[in-house]
Structure formats: structure tokens, C-alpha cells
Amino acid sequence: MKNVKLSVNGNTLTITVDLTQESGPSSSGKTIIIASTEGNFPLPGRAEFVGLNVYRKK
């Protein structure tokens, strides 16, 4: 994961992303990646998955 923090407290998922950081350009070069789970990420000890991409246009 890039610039993503996940925490599960009971039945609540909290996602934290620092919007001031950049992880570089996307593969197409059209956007700047801010944060990504880089695919579907399983939540530890649970049956759910999360897939997240945060980006902005160049």
C-alpha cells in the first residue's frame, strides 16, 4: 500500500490518507497518484476487502 493506513475498530473501518503526499505519475501519465492499496487488500481477520485509489489530474 502507498500512503494508506487502515484500521478496524469493531465493525468500523477507518481509512487515513495524507493528501499532501504524492507517489508519482500513473502508468498512463495522465494523473498523479496520491494513495493506493495497489489492488484489493484483505482486512486482517475479516472477510472483507478494500480497493482504493486516490489521484488527481496532472
* Domain spans, the chain: 4-51
pLDDT value, residue 21:
97
Whole-structure pTM value:
0.87
**Which residues, including other chains, have CB under 8 Å from residue 51's CB and lie 6 or more apart?**
37, 39, 40, 41
pLDDT value, residue 44:
87
Q: Which three cell numbers stand for residue 18?
A: 495524507
User: Of 46, 50, 48, nearest to 5 (Cα)?
Assistant: 50
- pLDDT tens for 5-52 read 999 999 999 999 999 999 999 999 999 999 999 999 999 889 999 999
